[in-house]
Every structure is written in structure tokens, then in C-alpha cells.
Structure 1
Amino acid sequence: MSGARRAVVFDMDGLMLDTERVALECWLDTARDAGWEITRDDCLAMVGLDQRASERALMQRVGQDFPLREISDRAKEVYLRRLRSEGIGLKPGLTALLDWLAAHSVPVAVATSTRHLLAVEKLELAGLSRRFEVVVCGDQVPEGKPAPHVYLEAVAQLGLQPAACVALEDSDIGLRAAHAAGLACIVVPDLRPPAAGYAPLAHAVVPTLREAHPLVGELLGLPAGAEAMPAR
């Protein structure tokens, strides 16, 4: 089909992996144990950003007296221990979508703000490491999301132009990055919907990857068919 896209670039945490909820709980619990009451909204300000940007966003909200390094290091320890012991859940509809894309030989990539070593471990824990030949991370580009670099690098490694790719995101930070890079972006919100000022940048905002599946098919110029909405 003329003008159809040819590849799909996935965000990771919150979009494919049910990890943002765990991270939120770890931050809140760790801060509370240290005598600091931070809010859910304080933590949500970090969603989608790379490590440095997320820490700056938090400090701006809670003040310069907050013991960032201590709380951050402890929260990460608890977070990783939980992921390694409990495993990582996949978002509804992901497996069916990845299977369908593979069956149609559609190239896929990951563009995430997460550091490379941690991203690789998460994909391994989630059983997805063999699904993606291209994985681009926040510490591999000059600037993380909402800058477009992570998407531009992923698209370059696929050997395509941005206009030939579809992005799937869960946050307005990621939406802004994908849009700035020139990709059509479908948003599947996780912990919060995209801010009203950024939602119009999305091709669509849908509740789960099941609903995103037929939209991806339309953008790729491929019929999604009845298998687009399985109960998986």
C-alpha cells in the first residue's frame, strides 16, 4: 500500500513490561522508610525520562534537601530484587502483537530511556530478548526522551526513515520523542494518560495493545484480521 509504514518501534517500561507500577511502589516505600513522604505524582514526574532527567524532575518537586542518592540507590536495589524474584509481567496484547508482526516479517525495535545493561536484563527476564535485534537505550544517545535521539537511532539501525515507522508509547514524554523524530505514534497509557497538551500529537490513544493492534495493521498497510484481538 502506498505510504504504508514498514516497521514498529516499541517503548519498553509501561508499554510492553508491567514495571512502572513496581518502580512506583519501590520509590514510595523506600522514601517512607527513610522518613520522607513523597507522593505518587512526584514519582510519576519521572516516568519516561532517562535517569538524569528523572532525578532532576524529582528534585524540582520535593526540594534540594531530599537525600536523592540514598533513596535512589535503595529503591533501585529493592526494584531489581523484586523483578528478579517475581519476574516481569507483560502488558495485555503484547504477545499476540509481536507474534503477528513476526508472522508478517515486520521489523521491530526497542527505543527506551532505560540504561542498556538494565534494559537487556529486563528483556531477558520478560522472555523478550530474542524478539528484538535492535535495542536502543537512553545511555546510548546524546539526550534521552523527550528528545528524539533514541528513536532516530533505532530507526537508523533498522535502515529506515522515521516516516516509515510506527512508534508505540505509554507516556507523553515518549510521545513527544517519537513525534519529534517523525514517527506516527500510538499511545497506550500506563500509570497516567498523556497530558492534554500533548495528546493531539498521537495518531491514537487506546487502552491496551489489543486495541492498538488493528491500528498498527492499518498504518503498516496489513489486515490485522480476527487474530488482532485475542484474549492473551
Structure 2
Amino acid sequence: MTDSTDQIQLAIFDWAGTTIDFGSCAPAAAFRKVFAAHGVEASDHAARAPMGLNKREHLVRMLQTETIAQQWLAANGKAWTEDDVSRLYEEFIPYQLQAIEESSKLVPGLNEVVQHLRQHNIRIGGTTGYFKAAAEATAAAAREQGFVPDANICADDVPEGRPAPWMIYEVMKQLTIYPARCVVKIGDTVADIEAGHNAGCWTVGVCDSSSSTGLSYEDFQQQTAAEQQERIASTMRVFKDVGSHFTIGSLEELPVVIQKINQRMAQGERP
């Protein structure tokens, strides 16, 4: 499907932290557990900071931080190596799959937003930094709750995961939708926004369910309204600092944002 008019034709969503698993709790928990098994206490911030990358690269980024590198040296008697990364990745897989089983609820409002987009002839894509088995488990959990994208790509399907644009391009290819200005990338991490920019499409950062905000839905609801707004504002600043075209407090705001994008494109603006 192609269309010469300047309208959004395709919305590509991230998975954990954007469409499912409010707060991206599953991967954060899995990263902390795999490091704990090797005598390293990774903070929640350390586990979340590289979120959005493919999971092997995520492990490398964590190991490269001074705090974790020092703990690894103290606990294991030597600096980490690529062999250690490979072993950590293999051990990480079952932790991740177990965490997905425990954190697989759709983000509130997702199905209603997707229904609205489909009513406006917008196709739906999904991309994730998860490896194949984790991506399939996540998609299966979402399917049981009524969310099935038209195309779904994970980091294992492309030469390089985010922030490279290949997952976005693969979704566009599968759905035969171009140019990139007719595509909007919605995500909850810096890597999502960077991938969108690299692909040449519009970008939207979602804040309340974001890994940067870092709270499960239940924990977020227990915050006061002022505390919620403070956390959302902090995450918005993160997205704006990396050039996100739009930031939204919650996913329910997306249809209005797409209307704004269409209006701006009608006036000749490009991402």
C-alpha cells in the first residue's frame, strides 16, 4: 500500500514499556537477576539506562559502566570479556522469558488507540529489542488480549537493532508503505527515538509507561498526581533532549498527535 498524500499511513510501536508491560519491568528485572547470579548488584537505573537496545548490546553497556565493571572485577577476580558477555546472554534468556510471563498486561488504552488508528486506515507495526523467543512470547501474550500488529519485527530479524533503522524499514517493506515521512515511530526509550530519526520518520515518546519513568502500572497509580506529573515531566525532558518530535503523557494522546502531524505535513513540514 502506498499513498502520495502526506498522511500518516503506518504507526510502528515498541513493545515492552509502550504497548505491553507498563514500566518495562520484565527486562529490567531479568537484567538485575542475571548480574546478581554473578555477584554484581545492578541498580534499577543501571538496568534501565540502555533500554531499547538489543539485549546483548544492553549487557555490554551495563558492563561498561564503572560501578558494574568494578563489582564484576571484585566478584570474579578479572575484568569482563566477550566470553563473559556470551555466557551472560545465554543465562539471561530464561530470566527474560520468565519475566515476560509475569509482566505481560497490555498498557491501558492500547486497544482503543489501535482501533481508532485502523478506522483511519493506519496500519500497525511492532518492533522490539527482544530476541526471537522473547518477542514471540510477548506477541502471544498480546494476542490473547486482542492486540495483533500487521507486521512484527525483533532485533534478531535484522542486521543490527536500535538505534539503527532496520527494524522500521523491515516493517515498511513488509507492509509496502513508503516514504518514511508517512510513518510514525512510537516508543518509550531513547533508542526508539533515535531509530525513528535514523529512519527519517516522525517520532513520539510515551512517558507514563516508559522505562525511564520506571514504575509498574500499580506503582504508578499509587503515586500522587503531583508525583506522577513530576516523573512524566522528567521523562519528557529525556525525549526532548534527543529530539523527539512529540512527547505524550500516555498512549491515549496518540490520535491527537497524529492529527497534528497530518496538519503539519499538509503545510509542507517534514520530519
Matched, 1:174 2:229: no
The answer to whether the aligner puts 1:99 opposite 2:115 as a matched pair is yes
Tell me which residue corresponds to 2:268.
Answer: none
Aligned pair partner of 2:127 in 79, 88, 111? 111
2:43 maps to 39
1:2-21 correspondence runs (5 A): 3-18=6-21, 20-21=24-25
Greater mean deviation of Cα atoms: 183-192 or 67-76: 67-76
Query: What are the superposed Cα offsets for residues 16-71 of structure 1, whole Å, 9 maximum, x if unpaired?
Result: 11162132233324534553211222211330001221121111112234965555
State whether structure 2 residue 155 is matched by structure 1 residue 124: no
Q: Counterpart of 1:219 in structure 2: which amino acid?
A: I
TM-score, length of structure 2 as denominator length = 0.71
CA distance in structure 1 between the partners assigned to 2:26 and 2:38 by the alignment? 18
Structure 2 CA distance for partners of 1:103 and 1:76, relative to 1, 3 Å = same
CA contact (8 A) 2:190 2:239 kept: no
CA shift for structure 1 position 138: 0.9
User: Which of 145, 154, 157 is 2:174 aligned to?
Assistant: 157
* Aligned equivalents of 2:62, 2:52: Cα separation in 1: 13
How many residues align structurally?
220
Give the distance between the partners of 1:83 and 1:39, measured in 2 at CA. 20
Contact 1:87 1:125 in 2 (8 A): no
* Distance of 1:22 and 1:159 partners within structure 2: 32
Aligned to 1:138: 155
Q: CA RMSD in A?
A: 2.7
| 2:98 maps to 1:81 | yes
Match of 2:260 in 1: 218
Alpha-carbon distance change, 213 to 199 in structure 1, aligned in 2, over 3 angstroms: farther
- Counterparts of residues 187-226 of structure 1 (less than 5 Å): 187-189=205-207, 190-192=210-212, 193=235, 196=238, 199=241, 201-220=243-262
Structure 1 range deviating more: 4-13 or 114-123? 114-123
* Alpha-carbon displacement from aligned partner over 1:63-118 (angstroms, at most 9, x marks no partner): 2349655555445423322433x461111221111111223332111122222332
Q: Is the 8 A contact 2:55 2:89 kept in 1?
A: no
Q: Is the 8 A contact 1:8 1:109 kept in 2?
A: yes
Shift of 1:200: 5.2
- Larger-Rg structure: 2
**Alignment of 1:90 onto 2:106:** yes
Percent identity between matched residues is 20
Separation in structure 2 between the aligned mates of residue 197 and residue 208 of structure 1, nearest angstrom = 14
Q: Which residues of structure 2 form unaligned runs of 5+? A: 70-78, 213-234, 264-271
Contact conserved, 1:50 with 1:114, CA < 8 A, in 2? yes
How far apart in 1 are the matches of 2:80 and 2:242?
37
Give the drift of 1:187: 0.5
Q: Which amino acid counterpart does residue 28 of structure 2 have in structure 1?
A: L
C-alpha separation between the residues in 2 aligned to 1:195 and 1:172? 11
Deviation of 1:151 (Å)? 1.0
How many Å separate the matches in 2 of 1:197 and 1:126? Answer: 26
TM-superposed CA distance for 1:170, in Å, is 0.7
What is the identity, as a one-letter code, of the residue corresponding to 2:134? L
For structure 1, which runs of at least 5 residues remain unmatched after alignment? 222-232
Alignment correspondent of 1:226: none
